[in-house]
Structure 1
Amino acid sequence: MPTVREIEQALYAVAPREGAMEWDNVGHLLGDPEQEVRRVLVALDITQVVAEEALERDCQLIVSHHPVMNCKWLPVQTVRSDTPQGRLLLTLLRGNVSAICMHTNLDVAVGGVNDALARTLELADAEPLCEDGLGRVGQLPEPLALADFARFVCQRLGCNGVRWADAGRPVSRVAVGGGACGDLVDAAVAAGCDTFVTADLSYHQFLDAEGKGINLIDAGHFPTEDPVCKWLMICLTRAYPDLEVVKSTSHKEVIHYYVEGEK
């Protein structure tokens, strides 16, 4: 069976480390590089629930998109059981569960986060939105009204709901950006897109959408990035056919929307 180190290199073959942003923390972040792996759990994030799931399912490795440790956001100064981060790290270490995280390098990789999102939304002829590989631009098979497309996005991504702003244009040429890609709105406009699907958009970005002539759909961080997990599973099984690769069933969208009239 492959070691953690070998699996890391197989993942770098499809999402090269050089693609990661300078501040990012990617690769094998936790555990023994020489540990043999029989079963891998794939999840968008490594949460406490995901760590416990890995132990329950006898997984030696978790492969995730978001880093289990990233000192840009949360410096690791202590590893204590009475803090959420410390409790998570101790759970993994005591259970001999390693962690490999492919973050911004997976965002720009061919086939990665943004290609997975474009495929899920059935965009044809998808190509990079930006020179650095972020985002994708593609065409719908046929134009849709924005309300119908928003419903389609919600269904395809399994969203609990979406937020959207209507610039008064039918949907045909669509840009996508998995995760928080609100800073790519102007790039989507410059690429001639009538609609941009991403996550974590601000009030002012929605407010400015009509003036910029682009429909905006915020489909949520988890829903827009989770499709890449399926692609990661395919990459792992292609590299190691005897490796058992399973997707987390415990990690789901945590944001819910209240609709007036619902009980």
Structure 2
Amino acid sequence: MKVSAIYEFLNEYAPFSVQDKFDNSGFLVGDMNATVKGICLCLDITNDVIKEAVANKANLIISHHPVIFDPLKSVTEGMPVYELIKNKLNAVCVHTNADMTKNGVTDIMLDLLEFERSDKILEPVMPDGTGYGKICELPIATHAKALAECCKKAFDCTVVRYTETDRPIKRVAVCSGAGGSTLPLAVFAGCDALITGDIKHDVWIDAVNRDFCLIDAGHFHTENILCNYLCGVLSRKFHNTQIFVAQSSKDPCSYII
């Protein structure tokens, strides 16, 4: 089986043509005609992930975040791109196309939260209305702390940050990764809460002033969930190939609790 076969399968799942204009999803490093010996999945292609792939004789790494995002002016020893090439590894990255596709990151979030899936897009960006995040209705109203606790359990977070409010929460917006900029959209859509990650200080202040429930479940924890999903999908399709999620694909931060 060639790398190109895996690429085409991923392209069917989340077409690379449906990626945001700033993105760099796709086949980024390697040889499309290389024979796949094993597949390693991760959120970010770090040097630790590369070492784990090599140790497990996997020569294809599939990540969510592109290993080449901003233009590179040099490639030197110790950089992940250099290490990929040196070890003859291939890299395919599925980023914003996986954020916006059906059964993508947001739908996986809804499933883990045990929320009913929704077709209501929080931030449409494509001409056909495809975009980031979903808006869903809870069958029973909840409150801020209970919703934050639900997120901590669903995404196995070390820490969940949230704004306290006494308002009942019925309509919830969910957006993976760094979705703080979607707060005004969630408010405009009549949502009572927004679940996302990577919230900036000024967005927290805005939420408090609006008496709005804002929940930061972490960039890592709201997106690393794609790895297990893709591992299951790929394993069912390519069952004779070693496919695994890198143990080194972990939150880069440590916490004092």
TM-score, normalisation: structure 1:
0.89
2:85 — aligned with what? 93
Provide, for residues 14-54 of structure 1, a one-character-per-residue CA deviation record: whole Å limited to 9, x for no partner.
11112111121111101111011131011111011101110
**Match of residue 250, structure 2, among 244, 249, 252:** 252
1:115 to 107, 110, 126: 107
- Label 1:210 to 1:167 Cα distance change in 2 as closer, same or farther (>3 A): farther
In structure 1, what is the Cα distance between the partners aligned to 2:30 and 2:243? 18
User: Which stretch shows the higher mean deviation, 196-205 or 167-176?
Assistant: 167-176
Gaps of 5+ in 1: none
| Unaligned runs of at least 5 residues, structure 2 | 126-130
Deviates more, 1:243-252 or 1:230-239: 230-239
Q: Is contact 2:66–2:93 with CA below 8 Å preserved after alignment?
A: yes
Distance in 2 of aligned mates of 1:222 and 1:168 = 28
Query: Within 5 A, what are the aligned runs for 1:134-173?
Result: 134-173=132-171
Q: Give per-residue Cα distances to partners, 1:160-186, cap 9 Å, x unaligned.
A: 101111233233321111001111111
Note if contact 1:167-1:209 (Cα within 8 Å) is conserved in structure 2: no
The Cα of 1:10 is off from its aligned counterpart by: 0.9
Contact 1:29 / 1:100 at 8 angstroms: preserved in 2?
yes
Deviation at 1:141, TM superposition (A): 4.4
Q: Please list, as runs of the form range in 1=range in 2, the aligned pairs for 1:11-160 lying within 5 A after superposition.
A: 11-71=10-70, 75-81=71-77, 84-85=78-79, 88-127=80-119, 128-132=121-125, 133-160=131-158
Cα-to-partner distance string for 1:42-68 (whole Å, 9 max, x where unaligned): 111101110111001110100000001
Deviations 1:67-121 (A, max 9, x none): 01112xxx3121211xx42xx2232222221100011111101111111111111
Between the aligned partners of 1:221 and 1:89, the Cα distance in structure 2 is 23
2:173 corresponds to 1:175:
yes
Conservation of the 8 A alpha-carbon contact between 2:144 and 2:165: no
Identity of aligned residues (%): 33
TM-score, with structure 2 as normaliser: 0.91
d(CA) in 2 for partners of 1:138 and 1:230?
Answer: 23
Corresponding letter in the other structure for 2:8: Q
- Equivalenced residue count is 251
Structure 1, residues 173-205: CA drift from partner, whole Å, max 9, x if none? Answer: 211110011111112112221110111111111
Whether contact under 8 Å (2:106, 2:134) holds in the other structure is yes
Q: Is the 8 A contact 1:117 1:228 kept in 2?
A: no
